[in-house]
Homo-oligomer: A and B are copies of this chain.
Amino acid sequence: MTVELICVGTELLMGTVVNTNAAFMAERCVALGLDCFYQSVVGDNASRLEESIKQAMGRSDIVILSGGLGPTEDDLTKETAAKVMGKELVMDDKAWKHITSYFEKRGLELTENNRKQAMVPEGSKVLYNKNGTAPGIIMEGDKCRMILLPGPPIELTFLWNEQVEDYLKSLSGDVLMSEMVKICGAGESKVETLLKDLIDAQDNPTIATYAKTGEVDVRVTAKAKDEKECKKLMKPVVKEIKKRLGSKIFTTDESVSLEMAVMQILNENKMTLTTAESITGGMIASRLINVPGASDVIKVGYITYSNKAKRKYLGVKRSTLDKYGAVSEQCAKEMAKGGAAAAKSDVCVAITGIAGPASDASNKDIGLTYIGVSVAGKIKVKEYRFEGNREKIRTAATTAALTFLRHCLLENLTEKTFGE
């Protein structure tokens, strides 16, 4: 089955907003086994919108439109889509009740315009929207199905997760299930090499890799007559992937991020953590603290950008700085040791490096970075060389620090040495 995405909105055409909705919907459609050959963006213009919808209906089984469901005159998606599908708009009492209570709760005043949002194409399925006022719509024609979704990402993703996903699954006689294997500490090409024979031979389940900064996600998707059969198909493949990638896999739960995986290890083992950051200047702590419950683990973090601060707060020796410089294995080691001691924490992750655009007095390479981790008194340091501009180097260094921190925690907990 083929699906086509049409995102409606002048703000997309003018580049004011980046089209994250298209990426979200596309990724989810692919995971459902739908083929997506076209995406387009049109503005809030009735004739161009009509032309785009007609073209999409002529070449795709499912057309998904997002945006243009607001209360103003400019919002034309529902009216235009209904016209093309040959449907009249009728008042949906439940949608109207939902809208009035949405306004009441927020102490906002309803305007006559808002009634427009409760009008739906006759015979359509209405997707009630907890996060906003515009309901989503599903219309079924003889040859083509059409799904209308509101443009704000928080509303679109909510309706997708709650209702659209199940609807799309129901269209296929088969059941689709997928499992996400998330990997840190190995690049996409390395992961693909390790899994090459599996990827080349893929059929059912399919295997797709997604590269992010310092992370690779592998999605395994099976199609079968029921969930049990899907699980049976996926199991040996996921098992084989786990075997090959071992401890580099930080989760098989799609909703878990690398920082969440790290925090989980610390939480489960009742370990406290401190951060001692130079090059990343707070980025490592900031990512970890984005995990709810961080206050039980991280009591304090140090941003020690100057040599003086490294000495004062982390106890780095002046002689170390003089002899090896701030960007050195020795300094990272003393930062990790001193950070754990100062914060009286079980674990410390420390980082020092050169983000550019210029090097420091030592004239070392831009991107050169040392990450030190102290776990229960044992300290390990690793050297990295990152590429790109200042922001890219700092972002990559942050992910590398979380990866190395996780690695050291696992080594300590299992008392095994993992290959890297």
Contact = CB atoms under 8 A, between A and B. Distances in A.
Interface of A: 12-20, 22-30, 36-43, 45, 48, 52, 208, 210-211, 275, 277, 280-286, 288-290, 292, 294-295, 298-306, 308-309, 312-313, 356-358, 390-391, 394
Contacts of A308: 299-300
Given A15-B25, A19-B18, A22-B15, A294 B303 contact: no
A15 B30 contact: yes
Secondary structure at the A interface, as helix, strand, loop or mixed, is mixed
B292 A281 contact: no
Residue of A38, A280, A289, A357 with most partner-chain B CB within 10 A: A289
A302 B304 contact: no
Contact of A14 (B27, B286, B292): B27
Contact of A281 (B25, B29, B37, B286): B286
Given A38-B40, A277-B282, A300 B304 contact: yes
B300 A313 contact: yes
A297 B43 CA distance: 46
A19 B12 CA distance: 11
Nearest to A36: B13
9 contacts: A12-B39, A16-B210, A19-B23, A281-B282, A283-B286, A290-B391, A300-B305, A300-B308, A302-B303
Contacts of A20: 18
A335 to B, nearest CB: 13
Contacts of A28: 15
A175 B53 CA distance: 37
A398 B212 CA distance: 25
A131 B358 CA distance: 19
B282 A301 contact: yes
Nearest to A274: B303
Contacts of A25: 15
A22 B23 contact: no
A26 B295 CA distance: 43
A200 to B, nearest CB: 16
Nearest to A28: B15
Contacts of A280: 286, 289
A400 to B, nearest CB: 16
A275 B304 CA distance: 11
A289 B301 contact: no
A295 B303 contact: no
A13 to B, nearest CB: 5
Contacts of A303: 275, 282, 285, 289, 298, 300-303
Contact of A390 (B13, B290, B306, B309): B290
Contacts of A38: 13, 40-42, 48, 52
A57 B353 CA distance: 50
B313 A305 contact: no
A143 to B, nearest CB: 20
A277 B294 CA distance: 14
A284 B301 CA distance: 13
Contact of A286 (B26, B282, B306): B282
A154 B13 CA distance: 21
B14 A26 contact: yes
A14 B26 CA distance: 5
A305 B299 contact: yes
Given A282-B282, A390-B292, A18 B12 contact: no
Contacts of A15: 22-30
B302 A306 contact: no
